[in-house]
Structure formats: structure tokens, C-alpha cells
Amino acid sequence: MNRLSDFMLPDARSTFAGDVDALFNFINVVSLILLIGITIAIIYFAYKYRRKSEDETTPLITHNSKLEITWSVIPLILVIIVFGWGYNGYLNLTTAPDDAYEIRVVGKSWLWEFHYDTGFVSVNELHVPANQPVKLILSSDDVIHSLFIPEFRVKMDALPNRYTSLWFEATEPGEMTIYCTEYCGSAHSNMLADLYVHSQEDFQTWLETADAVDETLSPAELGQQLVQRQGCLACHSLDGSTLQGPSFEGIFGRDRELQDGSVVTIDENYLRQSIIEPNTQVAAGFPAIMPSYAGSLDDRQIDAIIEYLKTLD
Amino acid sequence: MATSESTNIKKIQVRRFKPDENPTSNYLTEERGLWAWMTTVDHKKIGWMYLGSIAIFFAVGGILALLLRTELLTPAQTFFTADAYNQLFTLHGAIMVFFFLVPSVPAALGNFILPLQLGCKDVAFPRVNLLSFYIYVVGALFTLFAIFTGGVDTGWTFYTPYSSSAAGGNVMAMTFGVFILGFSSILTGLNFIVTIHRMRAPGLTWNKLPLFLWALYATSIIQILATPVLAITLLLLTMERLLSIGIFDPALGGDPVLYQHFFWFYSHPAVYIMIVPGFGIISEIISTFSRKHIFGYWAIALSSLAIAFIGFLVWGHHMFVAGQSSLANLVFSFLTFLVGIPTGIKIFNWIATMYKGSIDLKTPMLYVMVFLFLFTIGGFTGIMLGALAVDIHLHDTYYVVAHFHYVMVGGMVMAFLGGLHYWWPKMTGKMYNEMWGRISCAIVFIGFNLTFLPQFVMGSLGMPRRYFNYLEQFQGYHVMSTYGSYILGLGFLMVLIYLTHSIFKGKKAPANPWQSRAMEWQAPSPPPLHNFEHTPVIIHGPYDYHKPMSEFQLGIAGSHNGHGHHEHETETKTVEADK
């Protein structure tokens, strides 16, 4: 039975993944037994009662109440077991302990923002402690997204008009992938985030130093880091290829036609405006879909990104 | 309903009747020419026009699927851009669901067979029948318009707020097309219900009604009750986009989850619109090719109605992770399991029908066996998805994609192909090549499993659906699935070729090549324009295989009923018939 789950399921790395897997295996095994039985019956009957002559007649068997009750009641009992088991597991999955560590999650087309209790915001990477309940409180800035962590067996939609939540307790440190599983447009399949599970001490260390500025970095180097971390590259390429937004290659100083037909020269002011209020001056030929970074990036970081973009000739 | 009608019993004289093996004319030789076809009110010709249309849509949707699978051979971009891919999967889903699956059995095969099985000349409202075909055509044209004016990339579910935002493409034209299409579905359902109630031949009581008609009856009820909700939903979506009235879009003060409730209130019953007629076909074929009375007639007939009824109450199981309350999840999960019971009952009854039968593994019967195997897998994986804790993990992954295709292709399309082969001699008057039929069936079976079994595995492993790019760890499964889809495509292509070939070069089909007891086989192949030259009188049930064929004959009403006839045996028998 465990072989089956090893083959079909990702590693179980949360406290309730084992329960989910047990039910998954139970349904699989019972189904497999019944399927084999049904298949054997079909093949056996097809062989045993194959037509031997063209004018055969068959006995009149219209129904058999005992048999019909049997094959109605046994499946009914089985599905009630599965129902109860599934609902019980679901209750555990949706009821977060009171002492859970809360992280706010915001889905935007197409990135994930994670807000920690220190005020630090990470984009497309989530850091959590192991062996401690963590509650994610989700919402979306635009369309519906859905946050899925296969190894934890958790998933929840992020909605634009209300908060939803999920919780988990990771059993061991490690790295995993977070997926968006509600179709949200062009870059839906690139809306991935990295999940880092740290030991509790490492998590505290990470949280304390996460927004510490590395003073040794030049602005352009910091900008390069930020562009990667903030999910910019999901839509803006560095090599000139067109994704959902214009490429960053050679962007600074270039003339750009806007949707209203006017032409602007891309300077510091245009770039700053495009980061804070992206949909006020949209490049012609691209949809107005970029989320705002107001509040996620401070002035120093915006300056650093602009310095970095200047280097991309 | 039956009791109120059987009050006016009268006795009529009938004579034994054999179908004419060499009729001088049939529905294909009369009213010839393009104009005659386009304006026909003959249910058989309308059935053909539907069959032609859905075959085209199935081919288009299938080619789209092959393109999708080809793109997924590699994890990164291969042939299409992300936007093109998103439009392709949207069109594949929308075309297959709305333009193929929904009308396939009821409108194409049902139209042809229903009046024949009832022993009447046509459906109750022949002109409405033609109208519903043209409504279908207009709906299809709107969809083509949407494709050529920007396409749609919302997925066939049109979830808000994505679909009500500017990003979705020409959602308006597409939804309007689907909106129009709904009326075609409603009118067909209405027509069938009235026909089954009012136009059964003398002697055809409710307990002799073929199970295909019970299935169509259940389907028609869903069509009439559920389709208006889809129309309302799409209308609200239109109002939101055109007039900016906030209904579903939170930016305007609406609620996107409300849309999901509305949409699934139609679309879940709609999967029963697609599959229940397939159940009916299975009952007909399994009884005919086992040459045995169907086991548990009432269990099968009533379980169709039970599925239709419970099917209305399970829509919330599509929204277990959409933020609906735990109580709602509890109720919907429980009701979902209840649908499994009547479905399981059907499977057991069909298998029991084979017991002590005289089984002939002709192509339709092979498709039935394929159906039983694949649909059982589809059903079990549905149980898996109904279990709340497990569904949280599997929701919106390829597991769901695989489950849906096992039910819809493995179930519905196999039943449709079985039915198409079964009734082909009746419809065309020609026999298809049995050997090619069996070979194609085997290729379809292999191709199908190779395509969709790996999707269960990758879905369980966490591969989300509707992904244009994916992580490399899933590539092996995707490659297997893509090669499987090519084999599956080849299988379908072979079916198309030998069926088309048989129309021109096939052997002439006798009136009743399968020695079936059902009424449509007591008419000549192909049937005359008005199906039966005389009003048939049903003496035996459609599954009375315990009597030899020579004793099994249809009666025709005696001359005092105004149907004078002299060519046939003069043995007379008095039957009690309602009406």
C-alpha cells in the first residue's frame, strides 16, 4: 500500500499529509479490488456465455431483489465510510490551532506576496518554520488564484473580495514548490513560488535578517536581486523576448509608444511611475495587468531597480 | 403519470407483422436534394444533420486536443505562445462540452431512434425539432465568430472575475453562442418529453418502454430544468460586461463565487445530460448482444431518474476550496456520494444481464465492455474526488482532468460509438466492416488509457491543470499522455473512414441484423419516411429474448382501426392497449 502512495503521491511533509494519504490509499485499494472483480466478471461471462449457435434462447431472469439490495447497500456502506473519513480529515485541515503563526498571502497576476508579522514582504518565496502550525490568510488583488502545496496536501483559493485561510504544520525543513491552481490568465503556469521550511531557530534568524540591507551591495546589484525576488521576471524578460510585459533589455532611454498613442522617453520618472502606478502609462500592445508595488518597495529599493535597469543595454 | 393515461383501455385487433426486407423506398430515397434536407421535418434527417454537425465539432475539438498535447511534450514553450495555448484549451473544452457532448446522444441518435422505438411517425413537434437544429447552428456560428475575433482564453467554465475583465478575449460572443445553444437543448428536451408521453404506440406501456427512452426522458427533464440557469448566468455575465452592473465582479461590488454557484448549478447536471443517454444505449446494446432480458429493468430505469434528481443537488462539490462554508462542503460531499449508488446499481445490473446470456462480441458489444471498464474507473475516481480531505489535494490538478475524461470519453463517447455502430445498419441500411470495427475499438481503448492513466498519476503528484509550462519532473507522464492521444486520434480516424466507406460500399443491412427485440429493428433498414407503414402494436417487451425470434413479432392494428392491410400472416391476436 505504501508503494502505491510513493508512486502516486508527493512526499508527505505536513502533519496531516499522512491521514490524507491513508484515505487516498484506502479508496484506491477498495476501488482496485472492485474493478478487478467487475472486469473478471465481464470477461468470464463473455467467454462462458459466448454465443454458440444463432438460434439460442436465454432464460428469463428479470430481477433478484436480494441481489439488488446487496449491491446497493454494500456500496452505500463503503461510501459512508469514505465520506466520514474524508470529512473528518477535512475538519482537521480547516481548523487552525490558536497558536498558529500567521502569514498574509496576496495573489496578484502573476506573483505571490507573503507578508510577515515583522512587516517584511517576500515575493514568490515563502519562509516558514518547521514543527509549528502556520496559518496562511489569503486574498487576491485581481482575479481568483489558488495556493497549492502538494507536499502538505493543502490548497485554497485566493479571492478578490474576501479572506480565506489554510494552515499546516511542516514536519521537516526542506524546499518545495507552491503552485497557482486556479486558472488566472497568460502566465498562470509561471505563477510559482518557492517554499523554504526552516528549523525554528533558522526561521527566527531569517526573519530578523530578511529586511536587513546588505550595505556592501551597489545599487545596481541590489536592483538585480530585487528584480529576481519581486517576481518581475515572470513577465519581463532580460533577453528581449516578449512575455506578458515589455522586455527589460535596453529599456532605459528608449522611446516607448503608449496605449493612448503618445510617445514617452523611458527615464527615471517613467520607471518609478510604472512601478508604483503601473496602469497609468501602459505600453502599446500590452494589457494593463501589472500589479502595483506601492507599499511593497521602499524608495531605496525603487532607486536600486532603476539603477539596475540602466545597466541592461 | 402512467395511471392517469391508462384509464381509457380499449381492445383492438392486431395481426403479426414482419418488416419488409426489400422496401421500394425509404426515407433516404424520398425528399432528396439539399433544399429538401434543409427544410425537412423528418426526425431521421434532422438526426443525420445533428450527427454531421457534432462529428465536425468532435473532429475540431479533437484536433485542438492533439495540438494541446503536442505543446505539452516539453516543459517549456514548444510551438505555441501561452496565450495561444490558453485559447486552445478553452476552445477544446467549450466545443467538446457544448457542441459535442451535450447534443451528441439526445439530438443525433435520440432524434433518429426515439420515434422508431415509440412506434410513431415522428416527434410530437417536428417543426420545433428542425428549429432546435437551426438554433444549434446559429449558436455554433456565434462561437466561430468569437474564435475569429480574438478568441477566448477563460477556460470553458468562464470563471469571473477573469471572464468579466478585459483580459478574457471575446467572451461576449462566445457566451452568447452558448446562451443560444441552450435553447436548442431545451426545445429538444421538451419535444422528447411530450413525444414519450403522448405518442407511444398502442401496447407500449411504461413498463415496456425501452431503457434508452427512460434515459432520454431523464435527460430531457434535466435539459429543461437546468439549462435556463445557464442562460440566466450568461445573461448576467453579459449585463456585467456591457452595462457594468456589479453581479460577479468584486470591483463592481459583485461576488465571483456566486458565479461559480450559478455556473455549476447548470454544469453539474449537464454532465448527467451528457452521460445518462449513454447509459440508455448501454442497456439496449448489452441486452441485444447478450440476447437476454435486461436484468433489473426498473432498477435501471429509476436509477436514471434518481441520478437526474440527485444530480441537481451536488454542484457545490466543484467549490470545496473556493471558500464556501464547511457545512456546505459537508452536505455537498455527502450528496455527491449518493449519486454514486444509482450509478453503481446500473453497472451491476448490466453485468448481471450478461449472466447466462448468449453473448456475441460484435463491435457495439466491445464498446460496451470498454465502457464498463473505463466508466467504472471514472466512477471510482469520482468517489476519490468526493472525499473532502483528498479533494483538497487533488482539486484543479490533472487528476480531475483524467477523471472527467474517463467519465466523458471513456463513458459517454464509448457509449456513443457503441450506439452509432449498433444503429448504423438501421440508419444507413448498410453494414460496416466488422473486422475494422473491432480493431478500431481496440486501438481506441489502448490509446485512451495511455493518454489518461498517466494523468491520474501526475495529478496526484501535484501537476496543476491548465498549465502551459510545467516542471521537468512531470515530463515523462506528459510524453506518455501525448503519444497516447495520437493513438486515440488514429482510432477515431479509422472509425470515421470505415463508417464513411460503408455508406458507399457496405453490404446491404437486413432489417434486423442483431436479431434484436426492440421496436426500431422491426422496421425496414433504412426505415420508410414515416417509419412504419402501419401503426404497430406492441405485444412483447423490448427485451423478450427468452422467446425465439420466430415467435417474436410486432402486431399491426386490425383493419377496423382504419389501417387495413393484407400482405402479412393473418394470425390475429387481441391485445389490451392503452389509448
Taking each helix axis from N to C terminus, what angle separates B434-460 and B363-386, rounded to the nearest 10 degrees?
10
Q: Say whether A154 and B392 touch across the interface (CB within 8 A).
A: yes
Q: In chain B, which residue's Cα lies nearest the Cα of A50?
A: B359
| Average pLDDT estimate for B181-185 | 93
- Give the homologous superfamily in CATH for domain A101-210: Cupredoxins -  blue copper proteins (2.60.40.420)
**C-alpha–C-alpha distance, residues B113 and B423, integer Å:** 8
Asked if pLDDT for residue B166 goes beyond 70, the answer is no
Query: Which pLDDT does position B572 carry in this prediction?
Result: 46
A2-47+64-94: CATH topology: Helix Hairpins (1.10.287)
Residues of B in contact with A153 (CB under 8 A): 389, 392-393
Chain A CB contacts of B471 under 8 Å are 177
Is A111's Cβ below 8 Å from some Cβ in B? no
pLDDT at B578: 41
Whether residue B1 is predicted with pLDDT greater than 60 in this model: the reply is: no
Minimal-distance CA residue of chain A relative to B163:
A143
Percent of chain A at pLDDT above 90?
52
B510 in A contact zone (CB under 8 Å) = no
Domain A219-310 -> CATH class: mainly alpha
Determine whether the interchain pair A150/B471 forms a contact, defined as Cβ–Cβ distance below 8 Å: no
What is the total residue count of chain B?
579
CB < 8 Å from B in window 158-177 of A: 159-162, 164, 177
The interface predicted TM-score of the complex, written ipTM, equals 0.90
Buried b / exposed e over B415-453, threshold 16 CB at 10 Å, is: bbbbbbbbbbbbbbbbbbbeebbeebbebbbebbbbbbb
CB-CB under 8 Å, A186 with B86: yes
Three-state secondary structure along A121-149? EEECEEEEECCCEEEEEEEECCCCEEEEE
Give the pLDDT band (50/70/90) at residue B567: very low
What's the number of CA atoms in the CB half-sphere (13 Å) around residue B308? Answer: 24
CB contact under 8 A, A86 and B387: yes
Q: Domain residue spans in chain A?
A: 2-47+64-94, 101-210, 219-310
* DSSP states of B516-543: --SGGGGS-SSPPTTS-SS-EE--S-TT
Whether A27 contacts chain B with CB within 8 A: yes
Q: Give the pairing type, strands B572-577 and B10-17.
A: antiparallel
* CA atoms of A114 and A179, how far apart (whole Å): 14
Domain containing B461 equals 2-575
At B286, which CATH number? 1.20.210.10
Number of domains composing chain B: 1
Q: pLDDT per residue over B429-467, tens digit each?
A: 999 999 999 999 999 999 999 999 999 999 999 999 999
Q: Which pLDDT band, with edges at 50, 70 and 90, does A299 fall under?
A: confident
d(CA B395, CA A153): 10
CA of A267 to nearest chain B CA: how many angstroms apart? 28
What is the per-residue pLDDT across B376-421, written as a single tens digit (0 to 9) for each? 999 999 999 999 999 999 999 999 999 999 999 999 999 999 999 9
Q: What percent of chain B has pLDDT over 70?
A: 93
pLDDT at position A3: 63
Task: Give the model confidence (pLDDT) of A72-123 as tens digits.
Answer: 999 999 999 999 999 999 998 889 999 999 999 999 988 999 999 988 888 8
Q: Give B64 to chain A, closest Cα distance, Å.
A: 18
Q: What is the mean pLDDT of residues A131-157?
A: 95
Tell me what the pLDDT averaged over chain B comes to. Answer: 89
Q: Is B337 on the interface with A (CB under 8 A)?
A: yes
- CA A205 from centre of chain: 26
C-beta pairs of A68-73 under 8 Å, 24+ apart in sequence: A68/B296, A68/B299, A68/B345, A68/B348, A68/B349, A71/B344, A71/B345, A71/B348, A72/B341, A72/B344, A72/B345
Closest CA to B494 of B560, B436, B572: B436
Chain A neighbours among B 511-530 (CB < 8 Å)?
A: 515
Q: Which of A155, A157, A186 comes nearest B83 by C-beta?
A: A186
Task: Indicate yes or no: CB of A51 within 8 angstroms of CB of B360.
Answer: yes
- Provide CB contacts within 8 A for B151, sequence distance 6+: B87, B90, B91, B169, B170
Position of cell 465510510? A81
Residue B84 scores a pLDDT above 80: yes
